[in-house]
Amino acid sequence: MDRIDSILEKMSLEEKIFQLTQYPISVFIDTKDDLDGPRKAYQLSGKNIALLGTVINPNDADEMIKAQEEHLRTDPNHIPLVFMRDVIHGYRTIYPIPLALAGSFNPELAEECAKMAAKEAALSGVQVTFAPMADYVRDPRWGRVLESGGEEPLVTGIMGAAQARGFQGDDLSDKDHIAACVKHFAAYGAGEAGREYNLAEVSLRELYEHYLPAYKMCIDAGVKLLMPSFNSVNGVPSTVNSFLMKKVLKEEWNYDGAVISDMYAVSELIPHGVAEDLKEAAEKAFTNGCDIEMCSSSYVLYLKELVEEGRISEEKIDEAARRVLMLKERLGLFEDPYHGADQKAAEAFYLCDENRALARRAAEESAVLLKNDGLLPLSPDVKRVALIGPFADSHEIKGAWSCKGRDEECVSMEEGVRKLLPDAEITVVSGCGIAWNETDADLQAAEKAANSADVVLLCLGEEQFCSGEAKSRTDLSLSPAQTALARTVLAANPNTAVVLFTGRPLAIPELSAKAPAILCMFFPGSEGGNAAANLLFGIANPSGKLTMSFPQSAAQCPVYYDRTNTGRPNWTDKAERLRYASDYIDCATLPLYSFGHGLSYSNFVYEEMKLSAKELPKSGSIGLSIKIKNESDISGSEVVQVYMKDPVASVVRPLQKLIAFKKVSFKPHEEKTVLFELNDSMFLFCDMEGKRIRETGRIEIMTGEADHFVLKDEFEMI
């Protein structure tokens, strides 16, 4: 702290303000002050660019080192820059998108993947990543669901915290690690109608019950930065939402790290209609606790003027600058401003055997076997295999937000299957293009290939950049061409396994009804083809579970597992269905595949569940044991899920709510007893004012999958 105090004492007000500003690295690369370039766009000159505090999007270590050297040569206080970038699911070695990785239900795996990505990024000149994204989401029409942990805040928070630990390690000055920034605070995933950047109107109870917990878990894991969301929450953009940024973040959670706006978010307060001009935007954002402005210039243009007018105190500028300088201190940048960046070493580490093996294991554990009527696993001795569909030979399987990953470095389905089955006769027919608006399919060639094959792998899905930021969709079905292709192939050969590549849940009721097997790979990353081949042919055993429900139709959305009943609930038995019920007349109410669903080649039998007591006193705990046996000849892993139901409460409670999970490995015919400790905090819930409360009464405990429980017990909260 002495060093930071000493630096702050020597800095001018203008120098402190520039520590609170972030621009792209292009302002260093393109040095033309007077021409149309990035410096002119940000109203910068060679003089004031020397004072800059943080930089976004370095392309590689060499570029970063060059910019840092130039900066240290000209900055009057020799304060190093800090370089930030979106490292979401890998830097160059790409592992599955976060929505898929969350489905592994394996926090240790998520931490290991983030650790690998941090090292690749750090060697490449990145010191901070804008991850994890802890947004709770219920609507798959929103394209950015791929970057989330899905529809359960417990899973999102646990997996996000694991990523934060992997990125940051135990010591940020360790050159293999980078700082993590949790985003987008708050309720970014609640955008109306699933539209990107759209308003979110969320009650206090919903905020505290569903939308806030995962951010808190990441903060508790030690993230060093936080990013407010673009959207307005209950009428006020998050960047200037004092309820979120002051009451919740600072007062209730005691967060003392840095806050950085999203790109252009401060200047966008003007079109939001809450600031008349950049000066007012700067004042509102800064006084609300936004320390760093990303890629707009309201702070450098107006904070000094606002201080001189007495509308902002210089002490508050000092506090914000201190938080930025403390980040640099923790990263060890005053000792090594390059944080170990070395492009030659980075190139040697990218996609090394160890990294590829980890990416392959992550893809295998993240894939979800949605359906299997006994077709899978396929025999590795099969003679003739037809790979049909737009993803049959495509390398475009890494997904959006894959940083410096390259399509050509991803293993395709064809490459994975050929490597695994070198002696098989393999036919590859695309049948149609990947694009959703593709209407023509080469059905004749696909039918011929399907007829002549022993087994067909039908590789379908959405193109990888149909999901991601600003990729909201109203239609979640497969393209017309892919639908026609699927009908033709499934009619031609009943031994057809569908392999699905997607960044979001899709509405595939017809495919689900007709296909004997469906393996959802999501976007699996660099080793996707190898992982898919291993899963399809039994080298690996599927163990992933959905963290976001697949709807019957986009018209159901938002659709989620922890729904509540109404006074006129829908009935699955249509013979008992009320005429006036909370139901659809043209579609089922429940999802096609619910949260927590995922099949295995093993046969896990839940034999017994026991509670250690029948009463839970305040601040107490109850032991829960679940006896499970793998009644098969195949080793496998099972995600043991524990749910609760509060039948009678002061507010309407969910029909089921996940409260704990463990991923457990079983040998063939092995029996294990899986132990949980159910503590009082698992059963607290929010009242209408967002306060967490405890009530007495009966609590039901279930295990299995949401909407398909195999064992139940109950106890009394006293």
Q: For 54-80, write each residue's pLDDT tens digit.
A: 999 999 999 999 999 999 999 999 999
Buried b (16+ CB within 10 A) or exposed e, 612-646: eeeebeeeebbebebebbbebebebbbbbbbbbbb
In this structure, how many other beta carbons lie within 10 angstroms of the beta carbon of residue 574? 9
Per-residue pLDDT tens digits for 285-327: 999 999 999 999 999 999 999 999 999 999 999 999 999 999 9
pLDDT for 619: 85
Which of the four pLDDT bands, split at 50, 70 and 90, describes residue 365? very high
- Identify the residue with better confidence: 412 or 568: 412
Percent of the chain surpassing pLDDT 70: 97
Tell me whether the CATH fold assigned to 362-536 matches the one assigned to 604-717: no
Residue of 257, 265, 319 whose CA lies nearest to 293: 265
pLDDT level of residue 676 (50, 70, 90 thresholds): very high
Position 571 scores a pLDDT of 57
Terminal-to-terminal C-alpha distance of the chain? 49
d(CA 118, CA 106): 19
Contact 361, 434 (CB under 8 A): no
Distance CA 126, CA 88 (A): 13
Q: Which of 44-58, 274-288, 342-356, 524-538 has the lowest mean pLDDT?
A: 44-58
- 40 φ/ψ angles, rounded to the nearest 5 degrees: -65, -40
Identity of residue 652: V
Listed in order, strand segments (DSSP E) in 418-561 are 425-429, 455-461, 496-501, 517-520
Radius of gyration of the chain (CA): 26
Please give the distance of CA 136 from its chain centroid, rounded to a whole number. Answer: 9
3-state helix, strand, coil in the chain (%, to 5): 35, 20, 45
Confidence of residue 575 (pLDDT cuts 50, 70, 90): low
Tell me: the pLDDT tens digits for 379-431? 999 999 999 999 999 999 999 999 999 999 999 999 999 999 999 999 999 99
| Per-residue pLDDT tens over the stretch 123-140 | 999 999 999 999 999 999
HSE of 299, CA atoms in CB hemisphere, 13 A: 32
Residue range 604-717, CATH number:
2.60.40.10
Q: According to the model, what pLDDT value does residue 577 have? A: 55
Residue 55 confidence (pLDDT): 96
User: What is the pLDDT at residue 301?
Assistant: 95
Whether the pLDDT of residue 36 is over 80: the answer is no
Confidence of residue 35 (pLDDT cuts 50, 70, 90): very low
- CATH of range 362-536; options 1.10.620.20, 2.40.50.1020, 3.40.50.1700, 3.40.109.10: 3.40.50.1700
Is a pLDDT exceeding 70 seen at residue 455? yes
Residue 30: the pLDDT is 64
Compute the mean pLDDT over every residue in the chain, rounded to the nearest whole number: 95
Position with higher pLDDT, 589 vs 425: 425
The tokens describing 161, both together, are: 């915290």
pLDDT for 34 equals: 47
User: Is the pLDDT confidence value at 479 over 60?
Assistant: yes
Q: How far apart, in whole angstroms, are the C-alpha atoms of residue 47 and residue 64?
A: 20
pTM of the predicted structure, to 2 decimals: 0.96
Cβ(665)–Cβ(636) under 8 Å? yes
Per mean pLDDT, which range of 1-5, 542-546, 622-626 is the poorest?
A: 1-5
What pLDDT, in 10s, does the model give residues 193-251?
999 999 999 999 999 999 999 999 999 999 999 999 999 999 999 999 999 999 999 99
Q: What is the mean pLDDT of residues 262-277?
A: 98
How does residue 572 score in pLDDT terms, banded at 50, 70 and 90? low
Residues forming the active site? 262
pLDDT band at 674 (very low <50, low <70, confident <90, very high): very high
Three-state DSSP at 537 gives coil
List 629's β-bridge partners, or say none. 605, 671
CA separation for the pair 68, 53 (Å, rounded): 11
pLDDT at residue 41, rounded to an integer: 67
Domain definitions of the chain by residue range: 1-84+297-330, 362-536, 604-717
Strand partners, 228: 185
> 306 with 312: CB under 8 angstroms?
yes
Q: State yes or no: pLDDT of 576 exceeds 60.
A: no
Question: What's the confidence (pLDDT) of residue 578?
Answer: 58
Of 497, 487, 393, 401, the closest CA to residue 447 belongs to: 487
Q: Please give the Cα distance from 360 to 366 (Å, whole number).
A: 10
